Amino acid sequence: MILYGLKLWTSNTSEIFQEALRLYKDKRIDFIEIKNNPAEALDFERLSIVKGIPVTVHNVDSHGWHEFNLGPPQFALWQETLRLANFFDSSVIVVHPGQARDFEHFKENLNKIDDPRIILENMAGLDIYGNNVYARTLEGLSEIQPLKPICFDFEKAVKSACFQSIEYKQFISDCVKELKPIYFHISGGDKNSPMDEHKNLYDANFDISWIANFLNTYSEKMPVKLVFETPKSDGLHNDIENIEFFKKCIE
């Protein structure tokens, strides 16, 4: 079984949170992933609108000045993410491995924030700024998977395959077989670019139908969560369009 998740940010408006609540009550979504946006202080009164919905949390981005390095100010931002996860009693905190130099550097930084709720997301070939990132290959992911479970992002995997000049379907199959994730992200993008994107599924030039059926078959063995990281327009209408597009791809 696939559980369908909506991606929100702590900076979203009250109207967006109210719309998300309606979608949950109407059984159009199963849960929400909320990303900590450090551009504004956490507003727990606004966030309380969706407090009754199952919520997972995403840490601040780990690129550029949000590099996974956790000296000031990064450690302060992590404390805000913990406040957010505690507020929602979240069982999951998604963390980007970011720009760690190697496994030992990554492990050292992970130890600074170790929390049983952390799951580590695979990375694209290059981040949205064109920077090199850690944990974009199966070798790198296999190093960190014994430390924490993996959040597997299909779009990032396609981008990583491009960076490595390998076939993306085989790369996805190999990663899922070895890493055994139960938490996933999806969005669209250009399979011929290694740089991370978050486009609509129907604008992707990689095979969304293959991914949908691959995940559906995989989910027969265990329930999985799938978060849609697609663009927003007209409130959350576009998010739902992407979810419905994905569902229609399942044969």
Number of independent structural domains in the chain? 1
- φ, ψ for residue 41, nearest 5 deg: -65, 150
pLDDT in tens, the chain (251 residues): 999 999 999 999 999 999 999 999 999 999 999 999 988 899 999 999 999 999 999 998 654 434 455 444 577 788 899 999 999 999 999 998 877 778 888 888 888 888 999 999 999 998 888 888 889 999 999 999 999 999 999 999 999 999 999 999 999 999 999 999 999 999 999 999 999 999 999 999 999 999 999 999 999 999 999 999 999 999 999 999 999 999 999 98
Q: Enter the DSSP assignment of 131.
A: -
| Chain centre to alpha carbon of residue 234 | 22
Give the predicted TM-score (pTM) of the model. Answer: 0.95
Range of the domain at 49: 2-249
**CATH code of the domain in which 83 resides:** 3.20.20.150
